[in-house]
Amino acid sequence: MESQPVCAVVVTYHPDAQIPERLIGILSQTHQMVVVDNGSEVDEVSWLRTAQQEFGFHLIENEQNLGIAEALNQGVRWAKQQGYLWVILFDQDSRITDGFVRQLFETWESHPNRERVGSVHPRYVNPETQIEPAVWRARDGGPVISLTSGSLLPTWVFDKAGWFASEFFIDEVDTEYCYRLRAFGYLIADSRRAILLHTAGHPKKCTFLGFSFYPMHHNAVRRYYLSRNRILLFKRYFRVFPLWILQSANVSLRETVKCFLGEQNRARKFRNFLLGTWDGMMGKSGKREGI
């Protein structure tokens, strides 16, 4: 089947010099694209302006970092204003493969309950290791949660389930929205053919007491938002999905332990972990200064 008119939404924050090449790849498979830049440096934005003039996509320039959630919301709002019924969302470092968008639509088209599908996600493959993360599936066969990058969503779902959680700023935004879609009774689907070349964090192999594992090596600022937003997420959805939240908490705990065993700058990361945990318990959200 031919893919329906779809607008790509790409969020950038200090993009590298290869960003125009990745944008070209996305634009070649979509009907329009909006790039939302979150306060990058002047030379970085100049790459985007040059690409915009050459390839004709829409560029939104935020003077400061508003967070991934609000930037996604800005892009989706623009797409809805232009009349698009579908959006496909991307991080700046993700790279799509041949037939990517068409294959996502084929997954939606063939789904037995497609009118209830709130989002369609690809397979995520690390371009360096070719490793795919394990997919945690619900009884309906779809993933319980998935990443935002590469996801295809009908724009009506934002009228029903609301916008991305701007109060999270960054981290766990994708997880929160997946839980929210499911809480509203919608399904999440994934394609076995659409492949997104994507690396979450900066995983590096580490060995401790004979055990090998891959810490994510997020920076200390991210460690704050990860710990805080996970607490907010668990509090928000525990009564709705208690077993899923307990399993998610277990995975988060193991990821945090890997961080403190195998990463650098552990003192600051531990401080931010404690600060984020406390703020999450106190219900604080939004952008946090001084971390």
- Measured CA to CA, the distance from residue 75 to residue 58 in angstroms comes to 9
Decide if 13 contacts 92 (C-beta within 8 A). yes
**In the prediction, which pLDDT does 207 show?**
76
pLDDT of residue 1: 46
Per CATH, the homologous superfamily of domain 7-197 is Spore Coat Polysaccharide Biosynthesis Protein SpsA; Chain A (3.90.550.10)
Q: Do the beta carbons of residue 59 and residue 52 sit within 8 Å?
A: yes
Q: Domain limits of the chain? A: 7-197, 206-282
User: Tens place of pLDDT for every residue, the chain, 291 residues?
Assistant: 456 899 999 999 999 989 999 999 999 999 999 999 999 999 999 989 999 999 999 999 999 999 999 999 999 999 999 999 999 999 999 999 999 999 999 999 999 999 999 999 999 998 888 889 889 999 999 999 999 999 999 999 999 999 999 999 999 999 999 999 999 999 999 999 999 999 876 677 777 766 776 767 778 999 999 999 999 999 999 999 999 999 999 999 988 888 888 878 889 999 999 999 999 999 999 999 988
Three-class SS of residue 271?
A: helix
Quote the pLDDT of residue 22: 94
Kindly give the residue spans of alpha helices, DSSP state H, lying in 59-120: 68-81, 100-110
Max Cα separation, the chain?
57
pTM of the model: 0.93
Judge whether 125 and 131 are in contact, CB under 8 Å: yes
